[in-house]
Amino acid sequence: MTTNRVGTIDRAFKSRIHCSLLYKKLDLKRTMTIWKKNIARLSEKLPIQVDEKGILKFAEKHYKKLKRSEGLIVWNGR
């Protein structure tokens, strides 16, 4: 199970959790590294052309939009 609402989990449920991991928010550099690695993995596995520059441009623009907004949350390491 994955949740970003840890504070709302009741004690009975918490007692059944064996491992909890905290994923901190990603900064722009780490976000772009993840995108680059995933694009490289995709390109290795499938015989398709990938618009890497276009995807990275979108990812950076989207990250900055999330960072500026009040209601949206920036990606984390999950």
Confirm if 59 and 32 have CB atoms less than 8 A apart: yes
Q: Domain for residue 3, yes or no?
A: no
Q: Domain for residue 17, yes or no?
A: no
In terms of residue numbers, what domain contains 42? Answer: 24-78
Confirm if 3 and 9 have CB atoms less than 8 A apart: yes
pLDDT at 57 over 90: yes
Q: Domain for residue 49, yes or no?
A: yes
Percent of the chain exceeding pLDDT 70 equals 85
Q: Domain for residue 51, yes or no?
A: yes
Residue partners of 54: CB distance under 8 A and separation at least 6: none
Looking at the structure of the chain, the number of domains it has is 1
Q: Of residues 39 and 11, which shows the higher confidence score? A: 39
Q: Domain for residue 58, yes or no?
A: yes
Residue 32 three-state SS: helix
Long-range contacts of 33-42 (CB under 8 A, 24+ apart): 35/59
pLDDT at 19 over 70: yes
pLDDT at 22 over 80: no
Q: Of residues 8 and 60, which shows the higher confidence score? A: 60
Average pLDDT of the chain is 83
Q: Domain for residue 4, yes or no?
A: no
Q: Domain for residue 65, yes or no?
A: yes
Residue keyed to tokens 């928010």: 25
